[in-house]
Structure 1
């Protein structure tokens, strides 16, 4: 990620979205409407308090379109100690999708979200990077729609 700081420290993950939050107002006109609504939504980066913060959501599903529509859906189940509902993110015009595994954290049952970042990606599209406890998800697309609600897990 370019602005969000996520790294392992001695006893756990350090997460800091402040540089991204400082940059976010400058990105408003460059991000597609759905992406902007998602990252600028109330509580998105309110790590200790908001039930609409992505931190600690659990990756529950990846659904790729098998036709050439460019569709992708990521589902995240709620963390039972933090969230009331899960999150479903639908992507349109997907040009790139990658899952990069990079750690060996074998004591966790599922990959959970540490933080995410959405940046402009040319021609009005966006790049969404989601840092998980054991992997990074990267999606380059035209836009996304994030819907909170329902237990996806």
Structure 2
């Protein structure tokens, strides 16, 4: 099997590679690891949600629930890992940005102790623009569904 074929399907992507592929950092990094990467097609991101997440301090005291917008962000970050790896984007001077969010639906609350599984698949890809469908799950329950798009943008060297 060629090196490119080996890289087309990968079982696990650890946090070190995620940090090398997207610019997000604590407290805004919402993907702990990824698995089932299939170049230009799909990826699964994993977020272990803990009570220590900063957003639980105010959302909601006594009844902590992960904000829906952060579930969408976690799906988008998972999509960005897929884009970065598929396109072999050099993150020096380039950033992957959200372009659009459509048809967001929230089904089940995500709470401390949950393992959020973000299943992201490419619907369409043209050059440096990808359109995705994402489904976030806790166990076998759908927490959120969304369609979104992202693009690679030249941002210049880091200061």
**If the length of structure 1 is used for normalisation, what is the TM-score?**
0.34
Rg: which structure is higher?
Answer: 2
Question: Is the helix fraction higher in 1 or 2?
Answer: 2
